[in-house]
Structure 1
Amino acid sequence: MDCRIESAETHRNKCAACFRQFNKLEHLVEHMRISYHSVHEPTCGICRKHCRSFESLREHLIGPLPKQECRDIFSYRGCKFCLKVFESPNSRRIHQEKCQLSGTNAGIIGRFSNLGLRDNLAIGGGARGPQVVALACKMVGGGSDGSLDLCARVCLIDEHENIIFHSYVKPPIPVANYRYETTGITPEYLRDAMPMRHVQRRIHDFLCNGEPMWTIRARGGRARILVGHGLDHDLESLQIEYRAEKIRDTAKYPPLMKTSKLSNSLKYLTQAYLGYDIQTGIQDPYEDCIATMRLYMRMRSQAHRVQEYPLASDPQNRNNFASWRQSEIERMSPEQMLEISRSDYYCWCLDSLY
């Protein structure tokens, strides 16, 4: 009988999401208050453990110190790219043929963008839902030692991977290092390139899509969603300001980060989650656009359970774990605590709802 009591108490103090065990119930409540567990977290398809990121889930399933039972099942029924688990090895094989994407087309088509200006930027458009574009830049070096990043080439694509805009960019100050080994850019490409201020205005106007910057909001409106990797750096180099609510950065998206403060490289993310290599030799911004758009679309297509007020910051959720509700929360089961818990980041699956 004592064992049964102890077992029940153990379950009562165990997090229903990450399975951490706490000595006291109030410690579990505090954990739930700061962990922001939700249906949007990457979750093991075998034991249903919630992980903060796909990197944590990968470690849980594959290593270096995986959970043995989950690893054994995942080794013959799991997809190493999207980390889903299937009913049989044959189902996994059929899925993985589609899940592992090819970078061949991106490389071939991208080389055509070297031909120069492609400008299909147009304000408006009647597509349903949020219009999404991906942006990438390639930098040359300025300053006395060539260490100052200057945008010398920019590419924009739509969500169907079509080039909307491609141009070489004439930097506002002299170039000290063309970084040819990775950029493939020579002085000839920039001699008659589009001036920075023209590129800046064209892209800015296209992103805002006729909507004043101060009216742009997270959901709805005409302004376009902008996808990229390290977009702060790219936008700074283009001298463009854009609303954070419309930015989807694969370097800052919590499920794709290495740790809560450390990003993964786009090269790694593409190899690990899309299954092909990029940035080998001379780097093409079109190839980077393709990779970030594919990562975004994969994250957006996740079938998470729909919730009212899905963010912890939504006014209706702010008191879910308030200290004045401590006694009430302690009467809840771990499953009930998880039910009222909400995410502290905007999951990209929500873009598909608007």
Structure 2
Amino acid sequence: MDSETHRNKCAACYRQYNKVEHLIEHMRVSYHSVHEPKCGVCQKQCRSYESLREHLIGPLPKVECARVFSMRGCNLCLKIFDSSSAVRSHRTTCQFSRTMTGLISRMSRMNIQAGSCIDNGQMSGSRVVALVCMMVGGGSDGSLDVCARVCLVGEDENIIYHAYIKPQVPVTNYRYESTGIRPEHLRDAVPLKQVQRRIQDILCNGEPIWKIRSKGSKARILTGHGIDYDLKCLGVEYPSFLIRDIANYPPLMKTSKLSNSLKYLTQAYLGYDIQNGMQDPYEDCVAELRLYTRMRHPGHPREYAGGRGDGPTRNNYPAWRQRELERMTAEALLDLSGSDYYCWCLDAYN
């Protein structure tokens, strides 16, 4: 009975099943892979960092894992270290300082308010760009989102492009408490078509958009939080294989598979607060870049059985192999499994 129970225990998440066929069905739909966050104590794989956080420090954590984590764990990256002194040394580099961000942020606001447009060129050395849009309200009740400000920041955390955008419909709610936008900012703002062309030029990096491919392209990776909606409001098209949306990245989503806010993600995984009062698009861009960079270097093996998010067609558990699968160990079944999302760690190699 013990050996049978062990055989029917998932080698990744440790769920147990009465019958081996139930375990096989679990592996068929779970898409476990080396890219999933893993507990440094018991080696359990979790679907997201939120589920790993609950496993370590949630309301009902795994007792032994929680005990070890309390002494030797980092509450930001959720890694376990050899000693408490190693954790203290690690935290100095793991926790980002808001002091410098706040200083740069205040300086950026001063520069931005001096003129409606800042354009620092192509920034050819920046492979990744973060984008944030700020919306004012249009329509009779002010509920229609109208893009009125855009900011692009490069990997060096310097502004590449910023502009106030001339609304194409009358503004009925400037949402000043959160946006800081006043009528005078939009009086001499940049026309939307001009902004669209400039953003497209920066992202494509001299390459025609119809020539952009997933590998070997000069075009830039675009990251953001809810980036698809920002692009839609801007009226800008960009290839999906170059978009890294923090709001929809499975390892950063809630256990309910809903999105976490940028404010929460910054506090939980970078260690400082943003969006306290009036929103600063530069500060949001920096947070997006730092979160993307942290997810790009998670410290796990590069192996990737599922390809570029095509796990459903690559998981090797077809029904015709059922008898063969039933003879395999749980570890062998795990070796057949691939991720159903594109892990950002692969960007470091492309």
Whether TM-score is above 0.5 comes out as yes
Please indicate the TM-score interval, normalised by the length of the shorter structure. Answer: over 0.9
1:122 aligns with 2:122: yes
In the aligned structure 1, how far is the partner of 2:246 from the partner of 2:237? 18
In the alignment, what sits opposite 2:91?
96
Greater shift in the superposed pair: 191-200 or 107-116 = 107-116
TM-score normalised to structure 2 length: 0.94
CA RMSD of aligned residues (A): 1.8
In the alignment, what sits opposite 2:340?
344
In the aligned structure 1, how far is the partner of 2:101 from the partner of 2:56? 31
- Cα deviation for residue 307 of structure 1 reads 1.8
Q: Retained in 2: the 8 A contact 1:135–1:226? A: yes
SS of the counterpart of 1:31? helix
SS of the counterpart of 2:238? coil
Instruction: Return the match for 2:159 from 158, 163, 186.
Output: 163
In the alignment, what sits opposite 2:57?
62
Matches within 5 A, 1:32-181: 32-113=27-108, 114-115=112-113, 116=115, 117-122=117-122, 125=124, 127=125, 131-181=127-177
In the aligned structure 2, how far is the partner of 1:20 from the partner of 1:49? 10
In the aligned structure 1, how far is the partner of 2:308 from the partner of 2:330? 18
Matched letter for residue 350 of structure 1? L
In the aligned structure 1, how far is the partner of 2:26 from the partner of 2:10? 8
Greater shift in the superposed pair: 260-269 or 299-308 = 299-308
SS of the counterpart of 2:145? strand
In the aligned structure 1, how far is the partner of 2:93 from the partner of 2:315? 43
Instruction: Classify 1:230/1:312 alpha carbon distance in 2 versus 1 (closer, same or farther; 3 Å).
Output: closer
Matched letter for residue 105 of structure 1? M
In the alignment, what sits opposite 1:333?
329
SS of the counterpart of 1:297? helix
Instruction: Classify 1:13/1:154 alpha carbon distance in 2 versus 1 (closer, same or farther; 3 Å).
Output: same
In the aligned structure 1, how far is the partner of 2:310 from the partner of 2:173? 48
TM-score normalised to structure 1 length: 0.93
Equivalenced residue count is 345
Unaligned stretches of 5+ residues in structure 1? 1-5
- Cα deviation for residue 260 of structure 1 reads 5.3
- Cα deviation for residue 103 of structure 1 reads 2.2
SS of the counterpart of 1:30? helix
Instruction: Return the match for 2:26 from 12, 17, 31.
Output: 31
- Cα deviation for residue 173 of structure 1 reads 1.1
In the aligned structure 2, how far is the partner of 1:319 from the partner of 1:107? 46
Q: Retained in 2: the 8 A contact 1:309–1:317? A: no
Matched letter for residue 85 of structure 1? I
SS of the counterpart of 2:165? strand
